[in-house]
Structure 1
Amino acid sequence: MANVAVIVVDMQRGLLQRANPAHRLDEVVAGINRLTAAARAAGAPVCFVQHDGDAADDIVPDTPGWRLHAELVCADADWRVRKRESDAFHDTPLAAQLDAHGIDAVVICGYASEFCVDSAARRAALLGYRTTVVSDLHTTNDRAHLSAAQVIAHHNFIWRNCTFSGNGVAPRPLDDVLVTEFA
């Protein structure tokens, strides 16, 4: 088994398909499917993280909005992790699962760049995992102060230029990740 795992964050219908839809959604979903297929073929685990929202959210557990995007390809062997915070590691079994499988590197993608993807990437780096964010497979919505494209570019810049206890977060495009991690 490879020592790298793919973590797909919050690709849930209620978050992605709002009046202000996620940026480049079709392209991101197709890319995530390419990434997860390559990971599975290489024997690497794939983990889908889902946020459990409350009644005020579009992501109440077990409702249509909570479910993963309909075009994401999920396998029976894929891990599922549920969370209630932006951080996919906080009060979840994610780190224990990674450690139990000898994983020392993670490849992260999903939604939302500036919230849950950023939180997962920073925590993974702080926990000592070699951390890659797929620079063209994280997305968000336009915000009042920045367009989605600006948010994505800003976070790729931050991750490229910030270190966390000796570990950085490396933003790399999908084609590079496929060659270096799963070829």
Structure 2
Amino acid sequence: MNLREKNTALILVDVQKAFLDENYWGGNRNNKNAEITCGKILNKWRELNLPIFHIRHSSTNPKSKLNEQNPGFEFNENVLPKENEPIITKNVNSAFIGTNLKEQLDRLGITSIVIVGITTNHCVSTTTRMAGNYGYETYLISDATAAFDRIGINGEKYDSEIIHLTTLANLNEEFATVWNFEKLMSEI
């Protein structure tokens, strides 16, 4: 049974304008076309009339680029929600905490989900881990997410691509199945 027959939901995590400011998040962002890839996946889901959920992060820190008073809070132009598509606002890393995402998925009888969004090692990872823990058949799309450089506990710098790939390795076959865009399109 392919993903279409399973009525697989698409969950777009934090595809917001704030993540276009590379330096704010640590610089050297990988997968600079992640939002474009997310948009292509979103368009395919719309074409197939499959369930879509837009998640956005609303930081409680007024200085954050993701605070609702900041233009960075807005959705990226590649994934603007349509009127009938649910928008879920969260304040923590997981799209399942403090929201009704699980209730909406369960109400629709959804057991299979595809996750895309930003950033790989934060909200995407946390949401993917919880989806797997809740028992959803979860797919994470590697080239529809992105990471930034990180500074380690001893001040060492970790490259964004290493952060991205190790996060995907930690999630693959434990919490989700990691595919790229082409594999996803072949399975839908």
Instruction: Answer yes or no: same fold by TM over 0.5.
Output: yes
> Does 2:9 match 1:5?
yes
> Does 2:141 match 1:129?
no
Among 33, 36, 43, the residue aligned to 1:37: 43
1:62-121 superposed Cα distances (whole Å, 9 cap, x missing partner): 531100113334322221110011011001010011111111111001111111000000
Shift of 1:141: 1.2
> Does 2:162 match 1:150?
yes
Shift of 1:37: 0.9
**Corresponding letter in the other structure for 1:46:** I
**Percent same amino acid at aligned positions?**
21
TM-score (norm. length: structure 1): 0.88
Among 151, 154, 160, the residue aligned to 2:172: 160
Match in the other structure for 2:154: none
TM-score (norm. length: structure 2): 0.86
1:113-153 superposed Cα distances (whole Å, 9 cap, x missing partner): 11100000000011111001001111111222311111111
**Corresponding letter in the other structure for 1:39:** W
- For this pair of structures, how many residues does the alignment match? 175
Which ranges of structure 1 fall in alignment gaps of 5 or more residues? 163-167
Tell me, in whole angstroms, the C-alpha distance in 2 between the residues paired with 1:56 and 1:66. Answer: 12
2:142 and 2:168 in contact (8 A); partners too: yes
Among 5, 8, 17, the residue aligned to 2:21: 17
> Does 2:124 match 1:117?
yes
Which ranges of structure 2 fall in alignment gaps of 5 or more residues? 152-156
1:52 and 1:60 in contact (8 A); partners too: yes
Question: What SS class does the counterpart of residue 41 from structure 2 fall into?
Answer: helix
**Corresponding letter in the other structure for 1:31:** T
**Corresponding letter in the other structure for 1:122:** R
